[in-house]
Amino acid sequence: MSSEAQNLPALHIPLLPRWIGYVAACIGMFMAILDIQIVVTALPLIQDELRIGADHMSWIQTAYLIAEVVAIPLIGLFMRVFSMRWLFAAAISAFTLASIGCAFSSGFYDLLVWRVIQGFAGGVLIPLVFSSIFLLFPRGFEQTLATTVGGFLAVLAPTLGPIAGGWLTEHYSWEWIFLVNVIPGIAAFVAGLGCLPKASINTGLLATLDWISLVCFGLSLALLIVGIKEAPTRGWLDPVVIGCFLVSILMLAVSVQRPRPAIMYHLLNDRALAFGCGLSFVLGFVLYSAVYVLPVFLGFVRGHGPLAIGLITIVMGIAQIGAAPVVVQLDRYIDARLLTAVGFIAFGVGLALDGDLTVNSDYNEVFWPQIIRGLAVALCVLPPIRLALVLQPKDKVSDASGLFNVMRNIGGAIGIAIMDTVMFSRTPEHADRVMELISNDPDKAAAVLGINVADLPTPDDAMSMMGIMDLIQNASLTMAINECWWLLAAVCILPLPLLLWLGDVPSATHYSRRKKDD
């Protein structure tokens, strides 16, 4: 086969419709990623208005991520069944309608159901963009430009999420963080339906989908997260917790061992893809956890409203946008393993710098840690994408992209559950410690509470002690959140021995050398 033929895209459509369709797909991806972040700043308000318990709030995020995880690996099969055009039209329609449903939810459980539907549709929209880059555009300038556009929007979405959520919540109401999806959703539907490549629908392929394998996979992840969340309350050796973990392992084993599993686990035999998926998991764990923990601190400890939280957390997104084009260029000439290692080290440093927050910490204290994390994220995202996907056969790109993205969301769902567990299990223990300090070391207790020692009541003055219970709660939650930061920083070390152990990745170096030769 000639080099010209090898460089042709898998789907041949004219230039203008190709780009209009691709931009429509990017809008869908943008909305799906935005909805992970835009909700974060409004969580305290949603909790109050819908009367949701604090221990249930993380499920608003986790349910979305789990649903995405179940949908993402199916992107390859869905593309073959419905074609890119009809799959996008169905996914963007479902996402838009689910957004309306979320906005009109009256309680925790109906909001949870709509978030699951929204997450499942988002789980189709996100990898569809990654697949379309390699299926719509010839290798070279167009593919590079499409990758840059998609990567930029993928970074811009979480950047704008907090500020958009805060602004909409404070100037309108929390419902608008979901209703804002409606007009872009309709526009993307029309553009995608008119311009994305069409093909015959082959519903007969759905008969090949092993629904037992898919359901077992979803149950495995859900039970794992339930076990993680219940363990601190019930105890790690509680029969219910152990049962959740054992059944989770059993469900995963059943999913993997099925004759034709819904998820193409066998693709992980490719070292480059397995390598990228492992890094994607760690990144999802630390990134989603960090963007969950910081708003919790700002909202529950500092008492900031949604808009103020968005203005503070947008710093990391701005740093991401600034770093992305630089990393794109670096990725052309520097070993992706080295870039990735530097990225995770820097991200860990940014996390550790937040590990000494106090009840008085605010914008200035979290500014530079966010800058460092923002600069590091691009290094943790772009090189692994190239390592995992760039040389995959075109008929495997969609499935490989699904695995790559699903690992990031699994990491995020597990990370949020663990951070939630740490915060709400360790806070009471730290509260007891603060109470002991009030009796034994008033100076240190006053410093922890952020007040003058003269304002500290005596332990035997019950009424005065009741007056500082909110301060004790804030201080103990801050101490638990600091433990979360240090735990996340430690997780960032995990890719380093993985990179060393894997050594050279042939597909990555082959592609890099070929680019230099060209």
**What pLDDT does residue 268 have?**
83
d(CA 300, CA 303): 5
Q: Is the dihedral of CA 221, 222, 223, 228 positive or negative?
A: positive
d(CA 491, CA 484): 11
Give residue-wise pLDDT tens across range 350-383.
999 999 999 999 989 999 999 999 999 888 888 8
Cα separations (Å) of 121 from 115, 400, 412, 431, 492? 10, 18, 18, 42, 30
- Joined together, the tokens standing for residue 252 give 């995963």
In a domain? residue 126: yes
Check whether 148 has a pLDDT greater than 90.
Answer: no
Please report which confidence band the pLDDT of residue 1 belongs to, taking 50, 70 and 90 as the band edges: very low
Phi-psi domain of 137 (left: phi exceeds 0; alpha: psi -120 through 50; beta: other): beta
In a domain? residue 450: no
Domain holding 160, by residue range, is 11-429+475-517
**What pLDDT does residue 479 have?**
94
Cα atoms in the 13 Å half-sphere on the side-chain side of 409: 32
**What pLDDT does residue 132 have?**
81
Cα separations (Å) of 63 from 68, 186, 226, 374, 413? 9, 25, 11, 26, 8
Would you say 449 and 470 are in contact if contact means Cβ atoms under 8 Å apart?
A: no
Q: What is the mean pLDDT of the chain?
A: 83
Q: What pTM value is reported for the model?
A: 0.78
Closest CA to 488 of 220, 289, 328, 243: 289
d(CA 251, CA 224): 10
Per cent of the chain over pLDDT 90 is 25
**What pLDDT does residue 92 have?**
95
Please report which confidence band the pLDDT of residue 394 belongs to, taking 50, 70 and 90 as the band edges: low
Name the most confidently modeled range: 27-36, 72-81, 162-171, 464-473. Answer: 27-36
Q: Is the model more confident about 401 or about 482?
A: 482
Closest CA to 401 of 214, 203, 267, 509: 267
Give residue-wise pLDDT tens across range 234-289.
777 889 889 999 999 999 999 989 888 877 788 888 887 888 889 999 999 999 89
In a domain? residue 355: yes
- Per-residue pLDDT averaged across 48-71, rounded? 77
The DSSP result for 466-487, as a single string, is HHTHHHHHHHHHHHHHHHHHHH
In a domain? residue 92: yes
In a domain? residue 3: no
Give residue-wise pLDDT tens across range 104-133.
988 888 888 999 999 999 988 987 887 787
- Per-residue pLDDT averaged across 400-423, rounded? 83
Total Cβ atoms within 10 A of residue 329:
9
Name the most confidently modeled range: 143-152, 378-387, 481-490. Answer: 481-490
Residue identified by tokens 């600069």 is: 375
Please report which confidence band the pLDDT of residue 8 belongs to, taking 50, 70 and 90 as the band edges: very low
In a domain? residue 375: yes
Phi, psi for residue 359 in degrees, rounded to 5: -65, -15
The domain that contains 416 carries what CATH number? Answer: 1.20.1250.20
In a domain? residue 399: yes
In a domain? residue 314: yes
Domain count, the chain: 1
d(CA 280, CA 410): 9
**What pLDDT does residue 355 have?**
94
Check whether 515 has a pLDDT greater than 60.
Answer: no
**What pLDDT does residue 424 have?**
80
Closest CA to 371 of 393, 349, 356: 349
Q: Which segment of 46-55, 193-202, 335-344 scores lowest on mean pLDDT?
A: 46-55
